[in-house]
Structure 1
Amino acid sequence: MATSLAKKEERKVRDTRLEQAIEHDDVDELHRLIVEERKLLDRASKDPFPNTPLHIAAAAGKTDVAMEMAIMKPSFARKLNPEGYNPMHLALKFQHYDTARALKTFDPKLIRVRGRCGFTPLHYIAEKQGENEPELLAEFLFACKPSIKDLTSRGETAVHIALKNQNVEAFKVLFGWLQRVNLTHILKWKDHDGNNVLHIAVSNKQPKIIKLLIKHADVNAKNSEGKTAFDIFIENPRHNQNLEKRLRPKRCSSHPPLSLSRFFSMELTGLEKYEFFFGFGDETARDIILVVSTLIATATYQAALSPPGGYWQDSSSNPSTNSTAASIENSHQAGDIIMNGWSLYFFSVVNSMAFFTSIGAIWATAIPLLPRTNMVCIAMVILGTAFSYSLVSQFPKSEAVPANLLGGFYVSLVVAGLVVPLVVWRNHARIVNRIDATGRRVDTLLESKGRQCER
């Protein structure tokens, strides 16, 4: 009995010393205590929702001790206390931004840990106004790009939170970031009330923000009350005819909004059939196709520049009279391909088939990822045109007619390869952009494969 009481007394003393070590940010004392009792930190964190020593250190802004404990017990950094906060939430709550930055450096994914009401540290800092908060918000975005896609329990993005709290500086940071990383489609997402960020900006009477959002948000979108941003605007007239005109929904009776369930019930779009047919939904297969296609394109292009037999090094002109069939066949200019007749046609056609098939595969892989792969498609067009010209221009004069026919065919092939996939992608995008799904991420439907960011 006495031994048990003595142990309890020792634990109380160590707990007090641990509190003092945290208060004085004393890393050495922390390690001395752990040497004395190996399970010291675990003993203080047995509850399902513990207020761990790391929580206490982060709330107090004791960065050195907090980082030491985060290194020794990484799991503490993700645990929520009874109030629904993890250590980074607490550091932000009490404005200990140096501690929050240190934890962000230790593990950038902590920015995505959902706490009370689904708020991540990014949501939390987007809500706060002040001189230091915009810089910290920018650092969070830079450290963890996927965090901008996280939603609260009410389906709100960080942009929703910033606008609902009329935090203009935070909105500017978030909006600028979305533009730079090409994620402005997030501005179309709705919260659980069916409001996108444009609805909120109109409700809060923020004309400057409305002007920025009109280009990126959906003016036709309706909230759960069936109101568009224009409907909300005219309920509270602001005598701004320009804004009223730009907010007016675009009437398009032939293309009404499309529910997500109805979209799934529809037949596969041309782009989706195309993806399944070529197997581009499988990233491993796509990587193999790209590598092999690149090698084939390189080899066949080089073969066009250095054909079998090579080129004539000198010129030979036909005599004006007494010409024979043999002399016509042997007429050539320096730089012409030595091959002629059916051997030349066979080589040109087979080599070109291999080349255009390879760049077509590269092109086809890039189509589902449009518009981010615009430059790849443009580069393939230029490459195909250059190949056609370099091959056909080296034909002997005696083969001018077949050369022109092949050149026309190659150009037609390049144009068709550009136009057809773009039309298929455009039709798919037109359907997907009609989807009106509250709180759902429909943006991934425009990608070859929906990807969820690792947490």
Structure 2
Amino acid sequence: MSLQEAIAADSVNELYSLIEQDENILDHGSQGPFPNTPLHVAAEQGKTKVAMEIATLKPPLARKLNRGGYSPMHLASQKKHYRTVRALMTLDPELVRVRGRGGITPLHFVAGERGDNGWDNVELLELLAEFLSACKSSIEDLTNQCETAVHVAVRTGNSEAFKVLFGWLKRVHLTRILDWKDQNGDTVLHIAAAEKQPEIIKLLIGYTAVKAKNFRGKTALDIFQENPSGDQDLANRSCRLGRRAITPTLSLSQFFSKELTSFEKCANFFRIPDESARNIILIVSSLIAAATYQAALTPSGGYLQDSSSNSMANSTVVTANSSRMATGRTHGARDSIQRGSRLYGYTMLNSLAFFASIATIWATTFTVEANPLFHIPIPLLCLAYSISLTVQNPQDREVVRIYLAVLAVFCLIAVFCVPVLWRVAYTRVRRQIDATRGCVATFDDRKIQHTWQALLIFIILVTLAYF
């Protein structure tokens, strides 16, 4: 039996029998810049078992393009062998990003393809969703016409595929890709307006820059008015939105040529480019914050065990510590044994360490891409710390009240107000920029992930401190 017959029979046993006879059999015909490898043949025929064995034995073959400019996954997708496509994706999710003829990846192909019947269409939509889930970065791949998968879906009128892509972009917070432009300067909204797709336009309103211009100097509103879809409700909404929208006035080069704002200088001052160093700082700061928070709940020396109007009463705890207490002062149960300057010094140093660690966490994770809700728990935690100190030390409340109040207010301003103001300023500037990729800063998932990991570690440590 020949290799072609083994592939046609989808027989793994026959494949290995041939390999035993000739260990280089899979390399025959696989040489050269654009070979039609055995894996290409198996994928095109939908022979999943043999294709998986060949891809396992020879992983580089899965990325090779044949003379037609297609990879094995491209061929399997075109022939609607979806089982084979899924199987290859399990071996290497990055195969979704292999650029073939015209720069088209398997993701682009699936986004622009519609099935011959309802079942095929459902399969394609499921495959599209699986591609996105398996390889998130594939959404940023561009064809030779600088089109994303979203551009392809809208240009081909595949509204169902667009809904899958659009819903996924919202869930992973990557809607900025909707403002990316193709080689003509058209965003997804430009294309939807030109193709008279009111359903897609309604979905895009509120998520895209309606006054961004293409390379012909036209906005999506201009194109929509030139090619009305007949939807009066959409026309009214577009006009209202157009009056409120900010018209981009800066090119990306003009924006980069401007001086840094005070907010940008602040962010650059606190930004730590080294990922490993930032992680270490976050972990150490979280440990310090948890330790100092626990120390505030259990001050040095502990608490008195009873109440008395005389500091020299028959309390063994008071007697043992009578040299450290002012004679004649009253005390109550759960009052701190240390008082006066000692208590004030302990509280001051512990509070400085706590607020310094909180400030370090804030400065290390300060980023415009972070959700503003992240900054809310931090000032609340600072307030809880301040209140706990005044409750734990009622006899010296007046001594520490002003000091802690100033620190708490400072944390409220620094940790909550400043990031919110920065985000407002950043958003306003960004809306004035008309760029091909439509973004100024790169979305950094890892940084946000480490931010939430640090916060989670800190919350766990503080919770354990209570038990």
Same fold (TM > 0.5)? yes
Return 411-420 or 208-217, whichever deviates more: 411-420
Matches within 5 A, 1:116-155: 116-130=101-115, 131=121, 132-155=123-146
1:243 to 220, 234, 240: 234
Deviations 1:123-161 (A, max 9, x none): 000111122211111111111121112111111111111
Aligned-partner residue type, residue 101 of structure 1? R
Aligned-partner residue type, residue 409 of structure 1? V
Output the CA distance in 2 between the equivalents of 1:445 and 1:183.
Answer: 11
In the alignment, structure 1 residue 394 sits paired with structure 2 residue 392:
yes
Taking a change above 3 Å as real, the CA distance of residues 353 and 450 of structure 1, as seen in their structure-2 partners, is: closer
Deviations 1:249-299 (A, max 9, x none): 35677x743222222222334454334423422211210110110010011
Return 104-113 or 195-204, whichever deviates more: 195-204
Taking a change above 3 Å as real, the CA distance of residues 157 and 409 of structure 1, as seen in their structure-2 partners, is: same
Aligned-partner residue type, residue 135 of structure 1? E
Taking a change above 3 Å as real, the CA distance of residues 327 and 71 of structure 1, as seen in their structure-2 partners, is: closer
Output the CA distance in 2 between the equivalents of 1:447 and 1:435.
Answer: 20
Match of 2:270 in 1: 278
SS at match of 1:156: coil
Taking a change above 3 Å as real, the CA distance of residues 273 and 448 of structure 1, as seen in their structure-2 partners, is: farther
SS at match of 2:383: helix
In the alignment, structure 1 residue 263 sits paired with structure 2 residue 255:
yes
Match of 1:89 in 2: 74
Match of 2:462 in 1: none
2:47 to 42, 62, 69: 62
Output the CA distance in 2 between the equivalents of 1:337 and 1:352.
Answer: 16
Match of 2:361 in 1: 362
Match of 2:23 in 1: 38
In the alignment, structure 1 residue 220 sits paired with structure 2 residue 201:
no
Taking a change above 3 Å as real, the CA distance of residues 70 and 36 of structure 1, as seen in their structure-2 partners, is: same
In the alignment, structure 1 residue 168 sits paired with structure 2 residue 159:
yes
Output the CA distance in 2 between the equivalents of 1:190 and 1:436.
Answer: 10
Match of 1:4 in 2: none
Match of 2:464 in 1: none
Match of 1:5 in 2: none
Output the CA distance in 2 between the equivalents of 1:20 and 1:393.
Answer: 83
2:289 to 287, 297, 300: 297
Question: Offset at 1:317?
Answer: 4.4
Deviations 1:350-390 (A, max 9, x none): 11111111111212233205433x44322212211111110
Match of 1:10 in 2: none
1:102 to 87, 90, 96: 87
Match of 1:421 in 2: 419
Aligned-pair RMSD on alpha carbons? 2.5
Match of 2:344 in 1: 345
SS at match of 2:337: coil
Aligned-partner residue type, residue 186 of structure 1? I
Contact 1:113 1:120 in 2 (8 A): yes
Which runs of no fewer than 5 residues in structure 1 stay unpaired? 1-15, 320-325
Aligned-partner residue type, residue 86 of structure 2? R
Contact 2:248 2:432 in 1 (8 A): yes
Question: Offset at 1:340?
Answer: 2.1
Output the CA distance in 1 between the equivalents of 2:279 and 2:19.
Answer: 49
Deviations 1:88-143 (A, max 9, x none): 00000111111111111111110011111111101000111122211111111111
Which runs of no fewer than 5 residues in structure 2 stay unpaired? 116-120, 312-324, 449-467
SS at match of 2:434: coil
Taking a change above 3 Å as real, the CA distance of residues 448 and 121 of structure 1, as seen in their structure-2 partners, is: closer
Question: Offset at 1:442?
Answer: 2.7
TM normalised by structure 1 equals: 0.87
Match of 1:7 in 2: none
2:186 to 195, 207, 224: 195
Output the CA distance in 1 between the equivalents of 2:281 and 2:301.
Answer: 31
Taking a change above 3 Å as real, the CA distance of residues 448 and 260 of structure 1, as seen in their structure-2 partners, is: farther
Match of 2:195 in 1: 204
Size of the alignment, in residue pairs?
Answer: 426
Output the CA distance in 1 between the equivalents of 2:268 and 2:373.
Answer: 24
Output the CA distance in 1 between the equivalents of 2:443 and 2:39.
Answer: 42
SS at match of 2:176: helix
Return 285-294 or 410-419, whichever deviates more: 410-419
2:407 to 405, 410, 427: 410
Output the CA distance in 1 between the equivalents of 2:54 and 2:94.
Answer: 17
Taking a change above 3 Å as real, the CA distance of residues 328 and 171 of structure 1, as seen in their structure-2 partners, is: farther
Output the CA distance in 1 between the equivalents of 2:188 and 2:229.
Answer: 19
Output the CA distance in 2 between the equivalents of 1:50 and 1:159.
Answer: 31
Question: Offset at 1:69?
Answer: 0.8
Question: Offset at 1:86?
Answer: 0.3
Return 177-186 or 106-115, whichever deviates more: 177-186
Contact 1:296 1:358 in 2 (8 A): yes
Return 151-160 or 33-42, whichever deviates more: 33-42
Aligned-partner residue type, residue 17 of structure 2? R
